[in-house]
Amino acid sequence: MKALKLLLLVFCFCQSAFSQNKITDSLFTELGKAGSDAKKVELYNAIASEYIENNPALMMQYAQKGLKLAQLKKLKEGEACSWLNMGNANIMMSRYTEALKSFTNAQDIYEGIKKAGNPSEEIMSGLARAYGSIGIVFSEQNNYAKALEYYFKAIKIYREAGEDEILATAYNNIGIVYKTQKEYTKALQYFNKALQLQQKTADNTSGVTITNIGNIYFLNGDNDKALKSYKSAEEFFKKHENKRGEAELYNSFGNYYKKTGDTQLAEKNYKKALEIFRVSGEDYGASASMAFLGQLYAGQHKNEEALVFLKQSVDMAARIGVLEQVKESEKSISSIYESQGDFAGALKHYKLYTAAKDSINNAENIKNLVREEMNFEMERKAELQKAENEKREAVYIEQSKRHRQQTLFTGLFAILLFGLAFVIYNRLQLKKTLTLQKDLAEYEQKALHLQMNPHFVFNCLGSISSFIVQNGTDSAIKYLSKFSKLMRLTLEYSKESLIPIDKEIEGLQNYLELEQLRFNKMFDFTITKDSAIEDDMAIPPLLLQPFVENAIIHGIVPKKEKGSIVINFSLVNDKLVCTVTDNGIGFAKSKEMKENSVTVHKSMALDITRKRLEVIQAFTAKASHVEIKEITDEAGRPSGTRIVLNLPVQFATN
């Protein structure tokens, strides 16, 4: 919950002109004088927000008053703000299913206002808060995939609005989610993005982010970089006071020195952290520091000191309801008693450890049930929304039909001609749309057939057969495994119009490893991705594979010496640029060899890809094209080919 409170503060509060430090009489005075219903709704929500820290029940009460009045007077913005406050109150009371309903109600209202046209900055900010709040609910239920989906929706709005300070906090919290999932590379990526924005805006919380970066290095075993980050954070905290952040940093220092064997410095830093936590009344951090000290002393066989701190950690953690800390500390206490031969004490604390563990498991089971209920609620809401959209569409079509009929029978010959022209224009547009959709389906299917052509499949099966005949059973099994995985990925991706770039990279990686085995490692390859590319940026499936195949078959293989293929994904001027570079015989020479070949094979990869790009351009209204460049050496001789695809930026969440 600690990591998620930061998200709650970022995403969920309704903006107000009033201070949110403590409830003041002035808010109630203003409420008594308010002359308009809109002002009353605003004040109800301002009062509700004041109770977020200490009284969620009262927060719910005033948010409901605001909601009732807003619905009665049809004040949509006020209604959405009330739903957000009610969702916050539900989260604080651990009623996550009800919180999800509240936040999705706010989302629906903001999206409805947005569809009506020209939404204000306040509306877009409210929509982002609704997305982020839904992400919080899913995070609390450990549904991290859904949480990230909504966080990315929120940061897209904040990024477009240029709200760098909030965006930095969002990046930081996405990093926390990835860290929880032990995806340390992605966590580090988003912590670094957060730090860049914080340095740009001179954010005083940068020290916390630097500590997070150090913790990722520490978890990855890169101790030197971890220590460097910790020292950088320490210097920052000297200039910008943040007691809680400083205490967490000292715990991190303690963990580092314990791992590297300097127990004196570890003890010193743990005690520094404990002192700060005690002074500031942070029981959660204090219980962790006590546990660290107890485990450190236990490792030095200072059992009496260890037991003092571990028991204090248990008492404090139990008082504030941190069962995970209770479990770990009780386990350590049991181990100490066992090492001393006090088996009765060891058994007693092992039972307490087991009880805490069972309580955690029971809480997790309850969380799973709530998660299932939430998923059902989201699916039900999606079905209702779909039915509502179909109903609106039917009404719209009927109204349009009636309008056209009235137009046809009210005018003279000129009006009749206008009506006929209008009908013809509509038919042409419909025909064009249907043609584009048909072309898209055909070209995607052709592209799939092109990659899975019988020639390639027969060659793969022949290679497997050859491995088996030569007693290369392990090689055959490895080859067959990669071949089956590529088939499965290709068929799976072909069903989608867009897939995340990481999935496209996974497919290319499998294909290239397969071809390396087939051609006895005749080439090396590298695949790189710009760090500016977000996880939810997407690309049409199987778009690059035909060009990679051409690079191998018509570029590297004819050269008859070891070659290389480099694939790169980057962002250039709001364009996704995909590059395939090989050091083969060159495009002109390859084309000449194919024309002179006895068994001429017409490669459709370029034509099909160009048609797919035309369809993409038609649907996105953004330019997309492919370029083929021949690479030459200093003497002007062909030394390879470079394929460059320029695509509009698209998102999987769209």
| Residue 75 DSSP SS3 | coil
Cβ proximity of 411 and 419 under 8 Å: yes
For residue 184, the model assigns a pLDDT of 92
What is residue 76's predicted lDDT score, i.e. its pLDDT? 92
The CATH H-level (homologous superfamily) assignment of domain 435-651 is Histidine kinase-like ATPase, C-terminal domain (3.30.565.10)
Q: Which residue ranges make up each domain of the chain?
A: 1-161, 282-385, 435-651
Measured CA to CA, the distance from residue 39 to residue 31 in angstroms comes to: 8
How high is the pLDDT of residue 445? Answer: 47
Burial of 360 (0-12, 13-18, 19+ CB in 10 A): middle
pLDDT at 425: 81
622-643 pLDDT, tens per residue? Answer: 888 889 999 988 888 888 999 9
Residues pairing with 643 in the sheet: 580, 628
C-alpha radius of gyration, the chain, whole number: 31
Alpha helices by DSSP H, 300-342 = 303-320, 323-339
Structure tokens at 611: 């048609």
The pLDDT value recorded for residue 356 is: 82
Instruction: Extract the tokens encoding 46.
Output: 């301002």
Euclidean distance between CA atoms 259 and 251, whole angstroms:
12
Identify the pLDDT of residue 442: 53
Helix locations, 73-120, DSSP H: 76-92, 96-115
Amino acid at 130: A
Q: What is the pLDDT of residue 449?
A: 44
Residue 372's pLDDT is: 57
The structural architecture, per CATH, of the domain 282-385 is: Alpha Horseshoe (1.25)
Using the Cα atoms of residue 585, residue 587, residue 588 and residue 590 in order, give the sign of their dihedral.
positive
169, 10 Cβ separation under 8 angstroms: yes
Which strand (E) or helix (H) includes residue 640? strand 638-648
**Residue linked to tokens 């989201």:** 378
Q: Which two tokens stand for residue 502?
A: 């990481």
User: Quick one: pLDDT at residue 192?
Assistant: 94
Q: What is the pLDDT of residue 383?
A: 64
d(CA 654, CA 650): 8
C-alpha 213: how far from its chain's center?
A: 18
Arch. (CATH architecture) of 1-161: Alpha Horseshoe (1.25)
Cα diameter, the chain: 107
Do strands 523-529 and 563-572 pair parallel, antiparallel, or not at all (unpaired)?
A: parallel
Query: Which CA distances in Å does 347 have to 304, 337, 354, 361?
Result: 18, 9, 10, 21
pLDDT, tens digit, 9 for 90 and up, residues 557-612: 888 888 999 999 999 888 999 999 999 988 888 888 777 664 444 456 667 777 77
Across the beta sheet with 499-500, the strand order is: 499-500, 537-539, 650-651
Whole-model pTM over 0.85: no
Q: Report the half-sphere exposure of 12 (CA within 13 A, side-chain side).
A: 30
Q: What are phi and psi of 119, to 5 degrees?
A: -70, 145
Closest CA to 133 of 82, 88, 79, 90: 88
Determine the Cα–Cα distance for residues 167 and 183; give it in Å rounded to an integer. 21
Element (H, E) at 628: strand 625-632
Does 282-385 match 435-651 in CATH topology?
no
Are 638 and 586 a contacting pair, CB within 8 Å?
Answer: yes
Q: What are the residue ranges in the chain where pLDDT is below 50? A: 1-22, 445, 448-449, 451-452, 598-602
Residue 455: the pLDDT is 54
Residue found by looking up tokens 């997070």 in the block:
212
Segments in 342-412 forming alpha helices (H)? 343-410
- Of 603, 587, 649, the closest CA to residue 624 belongs to 649
Strand partners for 576 = 571, 647
Nearest Cα neighbor of 467 from 514, 408, 499 is 514
| Calpha distance 13→235 (Å, rounded) | 32
Q: With CA atoms as reference, report the closest residue to 645 among 631, 630, 629, 627.
A: 627
Dump the DSSP string for 261-297.
T-HHHHHHHHHHHHHHHHHHT-HHHHHHHHHHHHHHH
Q: What's residue 486's pLDDT? A: 76
Predicted pLDDT at 6: 40
